[in-house]
Structures are given as C-alpha cells and as structure tokens.
Amino acid sequence: MLRFLKGFGLFSAAVLGAAASPANAAGDLLVAPTRVVLDGSRGTEVVLNNIGSAPATYRISLEIKRMTALGGLDEIEEADANAAEKAALAMISFNPRRVTLPPNQPQVIRVGVRVPEGTPAGEYRAHMLFRAVPDAAPATDPAKPVTSGVSIALTPIYGITIPVIVRVGELGASAQIGEARVEETVDGPAFAFDLTRSGNRSVYGDIEVTRPGLAEPLLLARGIAVYPEVGQRKVSLRVPAELAAQLKGPVKIRYSEDREVGGGTIDEADRVVK
C-alpha cells in the first residue's frame, strides 16, 4: 500500500519545496514553483493562477519564518528578525505586489535578488506570502429587513507561503536519519523520526520507506526540509491506522534530493520500527 504525503499547513501553506517543484494550492490560488533558490546573481519567476470560477485579488509580501525542532515554521516579526533575516528581506525584490486574476488566468511575479558586496557566505531566506484579499461586502443586505442585535460574518482568508532562498558563497550540508517509530498523536498515528543536519545551508528532499521483499514503497513524503536555524528536527508523517501497523518492523528509510536536481541520496538507514 503506497501512501504519498506532502506536508503543508491549513490556511497558510508553508511549503518546503524546490525551484521546479509541483504547484501548490490553497483556496482557489495555484502557485508554482513551491520553492525558489537563487544564487545571488539572477532572478526568476513565480506563476500564480486563479483556478476558481470568479475573479480574485491577491496581495504579495515577504515575511520571516523560523523552523522549530518539531518541523513547524514560526512567523517572526520584522522587529525581532536577526541580521541574516533582515538581510534576506533587503536582498529579495518582487513585482507586482498585488494582482487581480480572472478565472483560469495566470500571472507572472518577477523575483529579483541583489547581494551587496561583502555579504558573508551563507544561506539567506524569506518567505513569500500570497494572501487572498476578500471582496468588500455591504454592511447590510437591502433585501432583508433591519433587525436589532449584532451579527458577525467570518470570512476565511487563504494564503500560501513559499520559501525564497538566496545562497552566497560555497555552501554544503548533509543529513542523518535517526531512530524511527510509530507514535500516537491527537490526529491519529504517525510515522516519526529525527532528521539531523550539519553544514552551512538547508537540506531538502523526499522520504521513501521500503520493506525488504516488497517491490513498492510503503510510504513516500515529498518536500522535507531542515533549515539552517535548526540542527535537528522531528519528522512526523500522519498515516492511516492500517498503514501504521504495516510500517512496524524492519524498514529502509531513504532521504533523497529532489528529483529535479538529480534525486541523489542524502542519507539512508535500516531501522526496526516499534
């Protein structure tokens, strides 16, 4: 039984993808690619597409997010950003900053980078946020009689974030897979292990879990990253109960680069899952 997982949030999709990764969607917005990596000299493009049935407006901005030891991304106020995070905001430019898209109409966002002379070698990252702008609604419905009391209407505002990474200088990184386990969470069973990173840049790739003697993988998970601000993070992949039972016992876990950059092995390990 093959399960394919891709991890991102509910309304704000903090996607950990690659420069040529598949598109990601939230609400009626489709964004491609899901990750941008710049070498400090040339820019690129991100394509938005409104896959809904009505025109929609989106606002684009940059924000700072930091990875936690549990693999989540905490939003950081600009006033609390460190020097590298502030440098990332200053290096990255984009245009336009607000778009209105008819249904099935793509829009190119041009992303540029300018690395000041003397910038220390390292990886600099900000997250580009694409947030839907809700339509203005009338305060009252003229077709309905005015009544006393207070009414509240809640409108969900959907958004997608993608990392924009600027790499300066000669950088490298490696990763090691820790012991694996099946554990119970509030959302059900999960396949979990620690992923340790070393080096001066992030690592990003796919997880494949196989069982000796079986032709097909038991589990595939795309877009697993460890950013430079953490040396180790927990990877927790929710799985159905029947798959959780199948994952127990001897397995091989392979962490590989994104297929668009060759798919080479970052690390692999034989584990006995309990």
Whole-structure pTM value? 0.82
Closest CA to 256 of 248, 246, 267, 244: 267
pLDDT value at position 136?
A: 59
pLDDT of residue 22: 53
Q: Which two tokens stand for residue 42?
A: 């040339």
List, in sequence order, the alpha helices (H) in the chain: 83-91, 241-247
CA distance 164 to 46: 11
3-135+156-168 topology per CATH? Immunoglobulin-like (2.60.40)
**DSSP states of 190-224:** EEEEEEEEEESS-EEEEEEEE-TT-SS-SEEEEEE
In 3D space, the residue among 29, 20, 39, 15 whose CA is nearest the CA of residue 263 turns out to be: 20
Rounded Cα gap, residues 234 and 236, in angstroms: 6
Q: So where are the chain's domains?
A: 3-135+156-168, 173-273
Distance separating alpha carbons of residues 181 and 271, to the nearest angstrom: 9
Give the per-residue pLDDT at 263: 83
Amino acid present at 67: M
Which residues of the chain are under the pLDDT cut of 70?
Answer: 1-27, 136-158
3-135+156-168 and 173-273 share one fold: yes
Give me the architecture of the 173-273 domain, per CATH: Sandwich (2.60)
Q: What is the model's pLDDT at position 21?
A: 44
Q: What is the pLDDT of residue 12?
A: 28
What is the per-residue pLDDT for 173? 96
Nearby residues of 205 by Cβ (< 8 Å), 6 or more positions away: 224, 225, 255, 256, 257, 258, 266
Q: What is the pLDDT of residue 57?
A: 93
Structure tokens belonging to residue 140: 């009252």
